Structure 1
Amino acid sequence: MWSSRFIMNHSIRAASLEGFSDLVRSYHANPNQILKEAGIVTSQLRDPDAFIYYEHFLAALELAAQHCQCDTFGLELSTKQGVNTLGLIGAYMSRQANIVDALTVARKYMYLHVEGLSLAVENSNSKSCEIQFLNLAPNELSPQKAQVTLGTCFCILRDLVGPTWRINKVSFRQDAPKNQEVFRDLFGCQPEFNSATDTIYFQSQFLSLKPNINNQLLDKMLFEEIESTKPNSQLEQLQRIDNAIKTLLATGDCTKENIALCMGLHPKKLQRFLAEQKTTYREMIDQVRKREALILLKNHQFNLTTVALKLGYCELSVFSRRFKIWFGMSPTQWQSRM
């Protein structure tokens, strides 16, 4: 049995609201008013890597569904999502050996986009598998939340698998909406409602396929992120490496080899470039951790264990010792002075 599970974090990337404003406007509603009511500053959406509170994200979905009088708003928003909205992580997923490996990467990251994802293959000879979404308490049915979660994962897998992607069945715990056509259009099958779980069922043969990304927008993003074509662009390249480290820290896969992979460089070329800049990979990752540690601690948004995990430390004690080396005091002491 192969399985993976990850739990919701209290914040998600602003990229999760990609296309929100345009979708709201298509229903002749005011997206700025809805975002303000939900507690989200509109300018936050300009940076896809900015973080917004998950509760505010859910509030925006529910409010939009009400203002737009659209009970399938979450599902329609999910169609704006895909591998390209995942940034460098999406690029990293698309370069894995097969879909299973890509989903292993997702296991460490997708909590920033969806909540409570659990993928399980019953046995190696099984012809089918399922993705269950444990994203709701039994007595708190939230149609928009379930719709955007299942829809987003479906679109990401569609990008990864390519045009052959098909599912056998999709089930929702929510009541049947008035407009079921949008469900059929997206999933390619008749959805089941009032089910026991929110689940996508598909053939396990897809798991062995190599990710197939033919997305021009993603190619453009990667070109802008990883190519350094100007002879005087060393600082830009260093910033891209910095951003890649920041993105991969929380995944536990922030190795020199994986950073080089995301940057489109051979590890030795990356090492030579850093040497030319009078630094090393270890020094850069240390700098990023120091900077991000102070930002996370200053915001008081996460507990210390979560901060340690976000910085790529498997244990709080390891982070605390390192922090004391950096700043001469423990994280708790530093926070108490703020």
Structure 2
Amino acid sequence: MKPLARYAAIHGYVELSRSLGLDPVALIRAAGLDPAGLSAQDRWVPAASVADLLERSAADSGHEDFGLRLAERRRFANLGPLSMVIREEPDVRSALRTMTRYEHMFNESLHTRLTEHNDIATLRLSLDLGGPGESRQAIELAVGVLHGLMRGFLGPTWQPLEVRFAHPAPLDRRTHHRILGPHVDFDQDFNGILVYTTDLDAPNAMADPQLRTYAQQIVNAPRATPNTTTSERVRDLIELLLPTGRCSVDQIARSLGVDRRTIHRRLAAEGETFTSLVDSTRADLAEHMVASRRHALTEIADLLAFSSPGNFSRWFRTRFGHSPSQWRAAHPADRVRAAPDARPPSAPPTTEPG
């Protein structure tokens, strides 16, 4: 597969396009994307198609700053599950390192590298679209989003030392200076942002140390590598979609931009099936969620998309040899890592199945 990106990468696209007099639906279709897919932010699509959409939009609107304008509309939550992990890192440096390590979870084409030398930190960004194609707008979107993240950590008055772009300058630089600050240079040898290393030492005001272990569970380290297999992609989507009730092979195929037969074929080549992945993902989540005591057992049954608490209990007994309540009693919560959940910890308790 060519590199993929989530639809969340173009959050706010429809509103921005319309504000500039464009027809977003026509442009989305012209780029080979599905307009209806914009409502599913976690759906995967070819990154090259996203880049093409941005280039078409910039050309048709006459705004060379289209990608940067779109970056203004991005929110921290658009990073998906990764946003939870980044939010819980203790300082800006560790947050950025976590983001670069797991960035393939929201955009497989994006590569970010952090280096430090002589009190200056450099964040270099590059895109691999899997083939030839213009990427100016996608690069400016990525740099703008990174700049916005830094401001989120360091405050709205923070300014970088310099922002660099490898492409030529636009005719009008006002948007670039308004969003990125006064020190923006073009025709440079890389795309990225330069900051003082002391900025990276700043504590992350959003961090909650008690939630850090829970957040890191979402990006299971053994699976977090750029060379992601189809099985790993499917499993990540299963974790995201189970609590929504939309975890089907058809939905996941749409998210990956292929048909269901392609999913079945590629999983078979890796010795897996969709059913086996759903079952193993449920088992991993259930084992930790039952023992952690964060949720009532009836709630866990719902989070794992079982039709009833009774069905969950029977499945759990078959899988683990004990009922959920027996497993919970035998496994103290402090010995089990907290698992990803889809509802706030303050959700009201309900009657627990056996």
Q: Which residue of 1 aligns with 2:26?
A: 33
1:128 partner letter: I
Letter of the aligned partner of 2:136 in structure 1? P
Give me the whole-angstrom Cα distance separating, in 2, the residues matched to 1:10 and 1:23: 25
Instruction: Report the counterpart of residue 135 of structure 1 in structure 2.
Output: 127
Partner of 1:119: 114
State percent identity of aligned pairs: 18
Q: Deviations over 1:76-101 (max 9, x none)?
A: 11111231211332122111111122
The alignment's C-alpha RMSD in Å is: 3.9
Query: Quick check: 1:97 aligned with 2:68?
Result: no
User: CA contact under 8 A between 1:143 and 1:174: conserved in structure 2?
Assistant: yes
2:59: which partner in 1? 66
Alignment of 1:126-205 (within 5 A): 126-135=118-127, 142-163=135-156, 165-205=158-198
Q: CA deviation at 1:148?
A: 0.9
Tell me if the contact between 1:108 and 1:250 (Cα under 8 Å) persists in the aligned partners: no
Cα shift readout 1:192-224 (whole Å, capped 9, x = no counterpart): 11111112100111212222349xxxxxxxxxx
- Secondary structure of 2:159 counterpart: coil
Q: In the comparison of the two structures, how many residue pairs are matched?
A: 245
Q: Is the 8 A contact 1:83 1:160 kept in 2?
A: no
Whole-Å Cα distance in 2 between the matches of residues 202 and 60 of structure 1? 31
Deviation at 1:180, TM superposition (A): 0.2
Query: TM-score if structure 1 supplies the norm length?
Result: 0.62
1:67 deviates by: 1.5
Gaps of 5+ in 2: 225-237, 254-258, 278-354
Aligned to 1:248: 219
Relative distance call for 1:303 and 1:199 in structure 2 (3 A) is: farther
Match of 1:24 among 17, 25, 31: 17
Is the 1:136–1:142 Cα contact (8 Å) retained in structure 2?
no
Rounded Cα–Cα distance in structure 2 between residues aligned with 1:30 and 1:12: 22
Q: Does 1:10 align with 2:8?
A: no
Give deviations 1:141-165, integer Å, cap 9, x for gaps.
6321221111111112221232353
Question: 2:10 matched to 1:48?
Answer: no
Look at both structures and tell me which one has the larger radius of gyration over its CA atoms.
2
Q: Distance in 1 between matches of 2:114 and 2:261?
A: 33
Closer/same/farther in 2, CA of residues 165 and 212 from structure 1, 3 Å limit: farther
Structure 1 regions of 5+ residues with no counterpart?
1-7, 215-225, 227-240, 254-283, 309-315, 328-338
Structure 2 Cα separation of the partners of residues 41 and 207 of structure 1: 39
Name the SS of the counterpart of 2:127 in structure 1: coil
> 2:325 maps to what in 1?
none
SS of 1:117's equivalent in the other structure is strand
Q: 1:193, 1:127 → 2: CA distance?
A: 23
Question: Are the counterparts in 1 of residues 71 and 142 from structure 2 also a CA contact under 8 Å?
Answer: yes
Measure, in 1, the Cα distance between the counterparts of 2:264 and 2:97.
Answer: 25
Partner of 1:275: none
Q: Equivalents in 1 of 2:273, 2:194: separation in Å?
A: 45
Residues 1:82 and 2:53 aligned together? no
Moved more, 195-204 or 158-167: 158-167
> Does the residue aligned with 1:116 lie in a helix, a strand or coil?
strand
Cα distance in 1 for residues equivalent to 2:11 and 2:136: 19
* 2-structure distance, mates of 1:14, 1:42: 10
Q: Write out per-residue CA displacement over residues 105-131 of structure 1, whole angstroms, 9 at most, x where no aligned residue.
A: 212332324612111123xxx311101
- C-alpha change, 1:247 and 1:293, in structure 2 (3 Å) is farther
How far, CA to CA, are the matches of 1:176 and 1:95 in structure 2?
37
For the residue of structure 2 that corresponds to 1:29, the secondary structure is: coil
Q: Which residue of 1 aligns with 2:316?
A: none
Matched to 2:20, the amino acid is Y
